[in-house]
Amino acid sequence: MTATETHCPYCALQCGIRLTPVIPRVQLEPADFPVNRGGLCAKGWTAAELLDHRDRLLTPLVREDPADRRSPLRPATWDEALDRIVTAIRDSQRRYGPDSVGAFGGGGLTNEKAYALGKFVRVALRSASIDYNGRFCMSSAATAANRAFGIDRGLPFPLEDVARARTVLLVGANPADAMPPSMQYLDAGRAEGARHIVVDPRLTATAKGAYRHLQPLPGTDLALANGLLHLAIREGLIDEDYIRDRTSGFEAVRAAVNAYWPARVERMTGVPEAHLRETVRLLATEGPAMILTARGAEQHSNGTDTAQAYLNLALALGLVGRPYSGYGTITGQGNGQGGREHGQKADQLPGYRRLDDPAAREHVAKVWGIDPAELPMPGKSAYEMLDRLGTDGGVRVLLVLASNIAVSAPHATHVIDRLRALDLLVVSDIFLSETAALADVVLPTAQWAEEEGTMTNLEGRVIRRRRALPPPPEVRTDLRFMADLAGLLGRGEFFSAEPREVFEELRRASAGGIADYAGITYERLDAEQGVFWPCPSEDHPGTPRLFAEDFPTPGGRARFVRVEHRDPHELPDRQFPYVLTTGRTMQQYQSGNQTRRVAALTMATPEPRVELHPDLARRHGIADSDLVELRSRRGRAFFRARLDPGIRPDTVFAPFHWGGDNAVNALTDPALDRHSRMPAFKVCAVAISRTEEE
């Protein structure tokens, strides 16, 4: 039996996996890939269960009565399903215009599919209405990195550099739970004496192993960073030569952080002044040093500015572009990096080009064989599009690929209402997710080990996803579905269902852009265990480390950006006295649509738990495992309590992998960051009470 080397279907680490056909199913084991080096987490070890799961969608489904969404879904042929979709698209565009049909993509799509989806919406639908769930994930850090560096590659260095750093500041990041095999790099550094400082309102598994845990009030990470920079300046720890030679805009930042003196920052954040001084001294003097942020710092109504504050700190200390040193953001979704490079974002074209840039429009239109004037201008961001579904001027027919927005969007009950208001909802998935259960047409799609393609991991390493077995007979790939639908809409000649052909076109479309894949071929990916972008030609080695010489900005300098603390959009008050923050558990992934169906993972975490400090629990008469109701201004959700003295007494935490009564996103605040349009997932005000079983 021939083994196939491919990659885990879940997170952005993209661990290497070897699949061997062993009748009646495949045998899965870790591959010796340079990222995971033989390691896998529980999700990866059990990923083969998805392939022949009894819940697998095996045929298209349509509503028994097309006019009644409460009628049951029944199996249908692809012809019938596509016919319903084409009829609805034509009808909607005739009545309401081209933008009334839209798509919502996902950071789990391969590069080929993300590219094809962006092109499908602009070329086949001629619509501006497209965005994707990465807007809820990476958009703030990406916006900040683009402002500072002129480029957004989550980690601008390989993971192996993390092991060589002597000091690492991790802000709102919990890799010990989110991507356990990545801890081997932090562990290796620690074994050599490195010191890790974790910033998190909870004593997470990552914080437990750290040298120091800073525990700020959620929503004050920016003040913390500005306070660290204030101290660095006052104590003469900034790198004046680096600032002079490699950056611009520092004086405005110097003036801004002057107001963040330590006693004030301690009052704002709750982090003791002594720990602020120690942190900045370690970052400045115990190098090489790194600052890594993740969603805890970024998913706020000021998430872009918060990430920017840590970028400012890294630049002022002269960390960026030096060996085993710098600033990075830890991407979460499997293809969160590639998914934001190839055009499924409302404002973007392939190669990380701007849709409103005339030169970019001309280049991409030429590759696509259309007139640049045919390309729509940028549409609405993810939540702004969802918020207006089914309304005048909003999207009326929505195609959803690789996303379970009924669980993962903020203010999820409102989003569910909006999904119900659509004229037609089409969902492509492998299981009947909470979103698919609302759909008029459900399309069964091929999954990770059943199709070819490429992914780009959190380091910017482009890798091959390989097909180990064929999909079930009535299951199609999303590339096939888009090509078929484009054909029925009279634009079939622009689309291929073959991943290699799509990738070859993607290479041409990305050539000369920020995320330049022109020199990357399937053959190179096979031979080299992945290639780091940018890679402008086939004889270029790829770029594992960025910024050693200069930055891709007009003057070659990194840019400081002045940022100020602003209170979160929603603060606790008498009615809703606590801060709710959300995040991951080790055994679940994203909305849980896949992992909640895997027996071993469900046994480990059969239900979500809300994490409470014992003092807070006592105040409300709550004991461990009691059923608890959380209420926010938008809704309510129920969880069993887990008492943990490691969380701040003014903060509660709940995971976001569940829907229905356990949907924490029924509570979260859809207030958007003004730069990235990222919702404020990480802070909202809640009330808490013990409740009885029904």
- Site residues, ligand SF4 (CB under 6 A): 8, 10-11, 13-15, 36, 40-41, 43-44, 179-181
Nearer CB in complex with ligand SF4: 389/601: 601
Nearer to ligand SF4, 37 or 164 (CB): 37
> Could you tell me the smallest distance in angstroms from the CB atom of residue 300 to ligand SF4?
24
Interior/surface letters 206-218, b for 16+ CB within 10 angstroms, e for the rest:
bbeebeebbbbbb
Q: Which residue, 108 or 181, has its beta carbon nearer to ligand SF4?
A: 181
Kindly tell me which of 40 and 687 has the beta carbon lying closer to ligand SF4. Answer: 40
Residues in contact with 1: Cβ distance below 8 Å, sequence separation at least 6, in sequence order = 20, 21, 22
User: Smallest distance, Å, CB 39 to ligand SF4?
Assistant: 7
CB 182, min distance to ligand SF4, A: 7
Exposure string for 505-521, b = 16+ CB within 10 A, e = fewer: bbbbbbbebbbbbbbbb
* Phi, psi dihedrals of residue 690, rounded to the nearest 5°: -75, 145
Nearest residue (CB) to ligand SF4, 450 versus 650? 450
| Cβ closest to ligand SF4, residue 137 vs residue 647 | 137
Between 46 and 325, CB nearer to ligand SF4: 46
Which lies closer to ligand SF4 via its Cβ, residue 43 or residue 464?
Answer: 43
CB of 94 to ligand SF4, least distance (A): 44
Residue with Cβ nearer ligand SF4 (271 or 598): 598
Instruction: Give the shortest CB-66-to-ligand SF4 separation in angstroms.
Output: 39
Beta pairing class for 679-680 and 669-672? antiparallel
Contact 216, 224 (CB under 8 A): yes
Look up tokens 């009565």; give the residue. Answer: 65
What is the closest distance, in whole angstroms, from the C-beta atom of residue 7 to ligand SF4 in the complex? 7
CA–CA distances in Å: residue 535 to residues 14, 444, 542, 552: 20, 35, 5, 14
Shortest distance in whole angstroms from residue 623 CB to ligand SF4: 33
Burial class (CB in 10 A: 0-12, 13-18, 19+), 281: middle
User: With contact defined as beta carbons under 8 Å apart, do 416 and 387 qualify?
Assistant: no
* Shortest Å, Cβ 17 to ligand SF4: 8
Distance CA 143, CA 150 (A): 9
Q: Is 434 exposed, middle or buried (0-12, 13-18, 19+ CB in 10 A)?
A: buried
- On whether the CB atoms of residues 452 and 467 are closer than 8 A, the answer is yes
- Spell out the residues 6+ positions from residue 448 whose beta carbon is closer than 8 angstroms to its own: 6, 7, 8, 9, 47, 50, 465
Least separation in angstroms between residue 657's CB and ligand SF4 is: 13
Which C-beta is closer to ligand SF4: that of 304 or that of 335? 335
CB of 677 to ligand SF4, least distance (A): 27
Q: What's the closest the beta carbon of residue 12 comes to ligand SF4, in angstroms?
A: 7
What DSSP designation does 36 have? T
Closest separation in Å from C-beta 383 to ligand SF4: 26
Q: Which residue's C-beta sits nearest to ligand SF4?
A: 44
CA contacts within 13 A on the Cβ side of 163: 12
Structure tokens at 78: 């692809």
As a dihedral over the C-alpha atoms of residue 552, residue 553, residue 554, residue 558, rounded to 10 degrees, the angle is: -130
Q: What is the Cα 142 distance to its own chain's centre?
A: 10
Rounded CA-CA distance 336/372 in Å is 28
| Nearest residue (CB) to ligand SF4, 14 versus 433 | 14
Q: How far apart are CA 396 and CA 535, in angstroms?
A: 40
Q: How far is the CB of 595 from ligand SF4 (least distance, A)?
A: 9
Closer residue to ligand SF4 (CB): 125 or 179: 179
> How is residue 125 written in tokens?
């639908």
User: Closer to ligand SF4 at the Cβ: 10 or 481?
Assistant: 10
In the bound state with ligand SF4, the residue whose beta carbon lies nearer, of 50 and 482, is 50
Cβ contacts of 283-286, under 8 Å, gap ≥ 24: 283/167, 283/169, 283/228, 283/232, 283/313, 283/317, 283/319, 284/232, 284/237, 284/238, 284/317, 285/237, 286/166, 286/167, 286/195
24 touches 44 (CB < 8 A): no
How would you classify the pairing of strands 684-690 and 578-583? antiparallel
Which residues, in sequence order, are CB contacts of 253 under 8 Å at separation 6+? 229, 312, 316, 560, 561, 562, 563
To the nearest whole angstrom, how small is the minimum distance from the Cβ of residue 502 to ligand SF4?
23
Q: How near is the Cβ of 452 to ligand SF4 at its closest, in Å?
A: 19
Indicate the helix (H) or strand (E) that contains 187.
helix 183-191
Q: Which two tokens stand for residue 507?
A: 């290479």
181, 40 in Cβ contact below 8 A?
Answer: yes
